[in-house]
Structure 1
Amino acid sequence: MVSGMRKNGKQWHSPRAAFRPEAATRATSSWAKRAEGRIALAATKAREKEMKEEKEAERQGRIQAIKDKRAAKEERERYEKLAEKMHRKRLDRLKRKEKRNKLLNS
């Protein structure tokens, strides 16, 4: 690179190129290497997503178990209240009838 006299008068400094770090890294790494890196990154992201989905499914399972437990408890309490008022055999008939209706409706 041949240039004329420096404008600021500091001719004793050696001339320097512009600081472009990204250009240097691109020149040293090949296209194949960069593509490989992208593939590795995509695989990592997919694994991360899969792990997050598993964790969320586990969480939803726990939530559903709690909801089912609460519903069963409410049902039990409701039948206990009914049992205080009516005869046990009549209560059993009512339970069977409700189960049939649930099966038909679902």
Structure 2
Amino acid sequence: MTLSTNEYYEIPKKYINPLEPKDKGEGSRVNGKDWKIKKDAFRVRSLGVGKKKSSFKERELKKLQEIQYKERLKELKDEKEAIKKQRIDDLKRRREIKEEKERYERMATKMHAKKVERLRKKEKRNKLLKER
């Protein structure tokens, strides 16, 4: 019996009036408290809470919508991840190009310095040879 959906006058008197005479078929209570109001087990579903009955088509439609939603969400995440990865790759590529350029510049200065050093040694040798 759902107490939430019934109006007050529809509720049997045994649930709301302790002085209402008891049904003889029920017998007396085990604990002896016959003056107490009889209560049924509290069931939340009887109050209208919980799963609602839905047709197979409605469940299938809901499942399909959920799958589409998840796919769309995954596409957006993948797209975002691809953009992020592209940005990182571009940054790495630019850094590699810059590093290579700097390396060539250092090498050029080093090669120039070596050439200068060779010339200096050569001049020194020539000078020593002339002095003999």
1:71 aligns with 2:96: yes
Aligned to 1:84: 109
Deviation at 1:86, TM superposition (A): 3.4
From the superposition, tell whether residues 5 and 50 of structure 1 become closer, same or farther in structure 2 (CA, over 3 Å).
Answer: farther
- Structure 1 stretches (4+) deviating beyond 6 angstroms? none
Quote how far apart the aligned CAs of 1:6 are. 8.1
The residue aligned with 2:37 is 10
Unpaired runs of 5+ residues, structure 1, are 88-106
Question: Cα deviations across residues 56-86 of structure 1 (Å, max 9, x unaligned)?
Answer: 0000000001100110001000111122233
Query: Normalization by structure 2: what TM-score?
Result: 0.51
Distance 2:65 2:28 in 1: 48
Structure 2: state its 5+ residue gaps.
2-24, 113-132
Partner Cα separation in structure 2 for residue 66 and residue 6 of structure 1: 85
TM-score using structure 1 length: 0.63
* Cα displacement (A) at 1:16: 7.8
Q: After superposition, what is the alpha-carbon deviation per residue over 1:15-70, rounded to whole angstroms, capped at 9, x for unaligned?
A: 688322335x0x2x211101100000000000000100000000000000110011
Which amino acid in the other structure matches residue 62 of structure 1? R
* Matched ranges for 1:1-106 at <5 A: 4=26, 7=29, 9-10=36-37, 18-20=43-45, 21-23=49-51, 25=52, 27=53, 29-86=54-111
Instruction: Between the two structures, name the one with larger relative contact order (CA 8 Å, sep ≥ 6).
Output: 2
